[in-house]
Chain A
Amino acid sequence: MTEPPQQHYLELSENPVQFEHASSVNNVFFDEANKQVFAVRSGGATGVVVKGPDDKSSVAFRMDDKGEVKCIKFSIGNKILAVQRTSKSVDFINFIPDYPHTEFSQECKTKNANVLGFCWTNWNEIVFITDQGIEFYQVFPDKRSLKLLKNQSINVNWYQYCPETAVILLSTTVQGNILQPFAFRNGTMSKMSKFEIELPVIPKPAKLSLSERDIAMATIYGQLYVMYLKHHSRTANSPSAEVVLYHLPREGACKKSHVLKLNTTGKFALNIVDNLVVVHHQSSQTSLIFDINLKEPDCAVNTHQPVLPARSIHPYRMPLAGPAVVPSQPPVPCQLYSSSWSVFQPDIIISASEGYLWYLQVKLHPTVNLLQDKGKLMDFLLRRRDCKMVILSVCSQILEGGVKGSLPVVATVFDKLNQVYKEYLEAEQSYTVAMESGPSRGSAAQKRPVRTQAVIDQSDMYTHVLSSFTERKEVSHKFVIAVLMEYIRSLNQHQITVQHYLYELVIKTLVQHNLFYMLHQFLQYHVLSDSKPLACLLLSLESTYPPAHQLSLDMLKRLSTANDEIVEVLLSKQQVLGALRFIRSVGGHDNVSARKFLDAARQTGDQMLFYTVFRSFQQRNQRLRGSPAFNPGEHCD
């Protein structure tokens, strides 16, 4: 926040994974499932260095050079290494200690088929994708053999794999635009319903028209989507490129669900960061972000414009201490959007020529000034992972501005925050209820709700926004009160119980500016809910505002659990008879301490009053114990 306004809302991770850059002797591979980079020198003979997102998943080893490596991947947990060197077979090496380390090999079952690639779906389950279908195997590392679990014949142009959901997508037919997904789970393979990507132009004669580069799979807001980068075409009626999202549910048909308007043409690449679709545009060296859950009021349903204006990724400098393997590299600014970049899902950018792997990240602070519509900004921020402090700072900013007409904005923002807050409270409550009613029944269904950063509760608002805001001298008290009332209104509207400290803040502000009549009216309409602390606070105001006494007594009366306090208040006002009548009316006369009343009566100096009170207690004693005498414990002798 101390830096001048920044416009770059995307950045490369500060700690990239560094590896030996690709060269004639060093081949580099990336495994999306384990997010590991393999640097294979001389076919593995002079070493394979595996770098993962953390040190644990980094490994270095040697293997025999048995020809050019086409594809190399560890199974989940680095248990088994699979290497493809020919188009017919895949080789395996055990990495489990105590298991034989000798390589073993598996040829594809289908005759004359070429293996396009393979994917691990588990630590010991692997899928071969050939041009004629897919083969699903279980690997037995101890026996150094594989068992075919299932296979499916189908003509395949190319394939994509989404490791998160273990779904493989196959491009079939001549044009390649019929996509067939398969899902894998615990040794089973299920065929999902296939679907067709609408091509901008139907080529004649038919030829492969859907490129692997234009399709990506990713989960957004917990749902699997196939993203299709639809380029603009001169013949079809589409002035600029767009990204079409197909929703791929576990069950049921795949549906075209969202269209992201890119409003430009050229070369694009896609990433998913924090449930945002990021579209990189190479020629302009900028990126756009889309949020498919943001409703666009002025667009047709599910057509989205970029959330923010296009900006480039934040400039990146290679760390001064360059990678040890290339010590001569100067600390130069990194060339962004380089043609040597490869982009992987969901959020990975790799520069093979420079030996860097970055994670793409969204910075929320710069978005604040780029999105003028604060309601939309809140919708956007509330869906982001690390949003809390940014949201709170936006709240402070709106309140600080004191721009004319900002109250409706404040109201909208509060309502949006409290909607999320309320949903969380409700989930929490139904969870508690379910737990109390016995965890035996359907306990699996009830999961403790996760409190995301988007849940901004009253204490967050109080600590980070409201308490400092109310102390600001330059803000008019009118505005302060309006804002507090707006927040209380919003909480009430969402049926959220307002915390006492907010009422205290309101009262403090009103008292500071001598607005007692306003306070009186708020209490009259029960805007400040009854509570003992509030009643006590009111009592303390009596010296500056006498009516507070009545307000306080009324409140204690309504609480119906504060009879003792009422008696104390009346006695302190020397209203001994009133106190006595009150305690009788609520039926507490028999148990009350006589001494307290007699003391108060004596203090008035009114002998008649003292006598009356004394007689009243004697009568009570007579009724209770048959004698007018007091119990010794009552100290009334």
Chain B
Amino acid sequence: MAADNRYEEEEVRTDDGSPITKPRPIVRLGIFLVAHSPVFSVVFSAAGVLALLLLPLLAKNTYISENALMPGSARSMLSNRDASDGSKLVKDIKNFRLNHEGQGVEVQRLIGKYMSEMVAEVYYQKFQPEGNQFHPLHFFSGPASYTLLRNVSCASYGVNVVGIIRAPRGDGKESIVLVTPYDFINGGDYEDLSLGVVSSLFSLLSRVTWLSKDIIWLVADSRYGDYRPVAAWLAEYHTPSFKVSDQLKCDELNTADNFRRAGTVAAALVLKVDGRSERFEDILSIYADASNGQMPNLDLINVVNYLAVHRQGFHVKVEKVVSLLSSSWLKIVGEIFEAVGKVAHTLNPDWKFGIPAAEYIEGSATLASSLYSQAFGIPTGPHGAFRDYQVDAITLKISPGFPPDSKARQHDFFLRGSQLLEGTIRSVNNLLEKFHQSFFLYLLTSPSKFISVGVYMIAFALLVASLPMVAASLYVDGCKALTKSTHNSAENFKSWKWLDAAKQVFALHLLGFIVTLLPYFICQVPGQHSPRNRSIMWGTTSSLLLVTFVTIPGCSPFSSRLHGTNWAILKSVTISAAFIGLCLMSIINFATAEIGALLLVPTCLLAQPIKPALRSRRVKSLLGAFCSMVLVTIGFPVIFFAITKGLVGEGLVGLSLGGEFWTWLESLWAWKSATYLYIGMVHLPCWLLCVCILFHPS
């Protein structure tokens, strides 16, 4: 951007006819790029899409970056006795369940008793399940600044059980957290298994001498979701509230005043066991995405993956978009790349970038899922709560390959599961500093392959590179046109012609900001409303606002007839705004920016007034107008949402769409996703401006 606008000004100067010295080569290159911007914008955009498709090929194998971790170098100390401890806990819980139906508190006591038998410090923490709150702007502040003190009802609260083992070699300044989400009222057989695994490990850790970081075992009450109890515990852990909570009054368990802490959390592992796998072997799924596309340090995933694959023989996988696996176009692309790779290999045996088509498809499906969950900005599990406190955490979800009542294999499962956790904890235990060696910004294409930020940014950079070029060339064109049409204004304000257009762009961005904040007020409307009604309310208010804005003279793009604003300048300013917005978003959340750029860049580039195109009746211009109409239609957030739903396989078009969309957005702002801000404050205004350019009365 920087360079380009400079060159464009350079061009203006040449038009004046004043003698200038021969510009430097880089300036001439810039002028060349700007002068041929249509060609280059097509080339760059195509290259951007191609680079995105190439990403699975460019994935590197993961490696352990931090030397101190040394995974798997120590022999496991876990014995059969520890595993049978775990089995005993599971059996006790099952028996207890049979005898006392629906008494959650008693189960918590039972777990607490087991923990204290293993010489752990035990306490219970109460928390309040939180409703959906509208706080999208909290994205910019730290986690501590939104502890809300609200009325507390005794009717519903959850209780976390926490046990702490103090490290014999530590100074109590660091800790490692193990989390097992557990529904105390109606937990299934598989959930019991996760308790069994961790309690086997806990029984070992209470005896070992090598521990230098305290171990915290958090049994999170997952009646109100997995995330909320962990977030509540973390909030209490990091920001103690000195007010006496009302919760203490309504009480069966004595939780007052005994919240214990154990220093900075170095890493956290969430263990979940659910459902039986389709295969015979046990499957370990790794979930790592936290809010707003943040990922834990890659080393943590590497350690777990290494131990699980090479030591314990789990089948490790990460999430993928299943519908992509069977898509035929992806298969064709994969085969083309494979063929190209083979040809390149025959030309020079050192070139090894081709991968088999099947692997490519697998990688793309995983990459798509990785992109999707990062763009969504919603954490994929309770580990997301840790990321808000800069703690690296992942969720390990194990699907055992045996029925829950198979005793023999259960014992073996406990042994292997807790050995995996033991190895990971041992590695983290070795760390002297925070995780910092490896990547924080990456996309996974398989559990052992990743694409780092330096590679995936190229695709985005190519995609948006055309924006400043086109903006500069349009600016020059617009200035020329204005100078021709109005001689008076040409004398004055030679370089301030963009002010009118900037005013209009600003007005629409302001509108976008207001529309973004509207749900806050809609949620305050008294009475129960269905999501559909709320979305209708939102839609009507927004359109009313839009109409008001359009009628205000001066800031409406449609009133430009009076000012004689050129649409080219309006488009140039729009593109600049889109460019700034996309670049900002790419720093906040790359995946959102990438998907947003795929939508917004072609829309912005192709937007042109359709009136002259219709008048000219030439095939080329008609085609252009048609394309831009289609792009603008797809670009509208609601329609894009519907199309994505349709692609994923949940075909729905109709009245329920508004409600679904509302629910989706609600989930976005409830999780403080920056994607919501992006949609409201960058995408929507730019989309509106493109519509304005389409119907520009020129």
A and B: real partners?
A: no
